[in-house]
């Protein structure tokens, strides 16, 4: 039996961490000591309450935690926390808009598809018999929306160009 109250052995007893001999001796002491039984019951109650409250603790927001930690460390070093600067954000957006405009303008001003060299096609033996009249009028054909009226397109070389209005000369 214990000579004094086994205050430091109650928690290991609850967790089953005592050796077999010590556990038997502590049980025998608890049968004869009301104070130690009350302490054991109080320890069990505290352990259950702590376990219950630990389960209810919400998951921390690690982003906020990191920000607060960085702010505290910088304050300890005497530095100020870097904050978001709206001027820098607007400058970045303006630079992105200029770059996008430049790309769009480059595509808009680039020349359209170029027709193959007609003279070069006529020289090659495989296309010697081919009708390459449409290739000569490629700039006109390239701007037609529909190729449904093939007869008009086929006879483009026979069409006369529209006459330009004469400028009135001032006297």
Q: Do both 128 and 146 map to the same domain?
A: yes
30 within a domain of the structure (yes/no) = yes
Q: What is the DSSP string of the chain?
A: --SS--GGGHHHHHTT-S-HHHHHHHHHHHHH-HHHHHHHHHHHHHHHHHHHHHHHSPPP-HHHHHHHHHHHHHHHHTPPPP---HHHHHHHHHHHHHHHHHHHHHHHHS--PPPPPHHHHHHSGGGTTS--HHHHTHHHHHT-S----HHHHHTGGGSPPPPPPPPPPP-
37 within a domain of the structure (yes/no) = yes
170 vs 33, more confident: 33
Query: In the predicted model, is pLDDT for residue 110 greater than 60?
Result: yes
pTM above 0.75, yes or no: no
Task: Look at residue 44 in the predicted model and tell me its pLDDT.
Answer: 92
Q: Do both 48 and 29 map to the same domain?
A: yes
Task: Look at residue 171 in the predicted model and tell me its pLDDT.
Answer: 45
164 within a domain of the structure (yes/no) = no
- pLDDT (tens digit, 9 = 90+) per residue, 45-75? 999 999 888 888 888 888 888 999 988 888 8
- pLDDT (tens digit, 9 = 90+) per residue, 4-15? 788 888 889 888
State the CB neighbour count (10 A cutoff) for residue 10.
21
Q: Do both 69 and 105 map to the same domain?
A: yes
104 within a domain of the structure (yes/no) = yes
166 within a domain of the structure (yes/no) = no
Residue span of the structural domain in which 128 resides = 118-158
Number of domains in the chain: 3
Q: Do both 67 and 88 map to the same domain?
A: yes
29 within a domain of the structure (yes/no) = yes
77 within a domain of the structure (yes/no) = yes
Q: Do both 79 and 105 map to the same domain?
A: yes
42 within a domain of the structure (yes/no) = yes
Q: Do both 34 and 67 map to the same domain?
A: no
Q: Do both 68 and 89 map to the same domain?
A: yes
Query: In the predicted model, is pLDDT for residue 78 greater than 60?
Result: yes
Task: Look at residue 97 in the predicted model and tell me its pLDDT.
Answer: 92
């Amino acid at each position: 039996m214990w000579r004094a109250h086994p205050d430091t052995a109650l928690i290991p007893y609850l967790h089953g961490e005592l050796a077999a001999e010590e556990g038997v001796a502590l049980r025998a002491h608890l049968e004869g000591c009301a104070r130690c039984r009350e302490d054991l019951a109080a320890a069990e109650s505290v352990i259950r309450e702590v376990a219950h409250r630990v389960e209810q603790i919400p998951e921390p927001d690690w982003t906020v935690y990191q920000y607060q930690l960085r702010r505290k460390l910088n304050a300890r070093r005497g530095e100020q926390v870097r904050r978001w600067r709206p001027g820098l954000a607007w400058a970045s957006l303006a630079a992105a808009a200029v770059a996008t405009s430049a790309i769009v303008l480059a595509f808009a001003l680039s020349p359209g598809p170029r027709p193959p060299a007609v003279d070069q096609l006529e020289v090659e033996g495989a296309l010697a018999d081919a009708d390459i009249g449409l290739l000569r009028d490629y700039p006109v054909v390239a701007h037609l929306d529909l190729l449904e009226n093939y007869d008009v397109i086929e006879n483009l070389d026979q069409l006369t160009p529209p006459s330009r209005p004469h400028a009135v000369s001032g006297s």
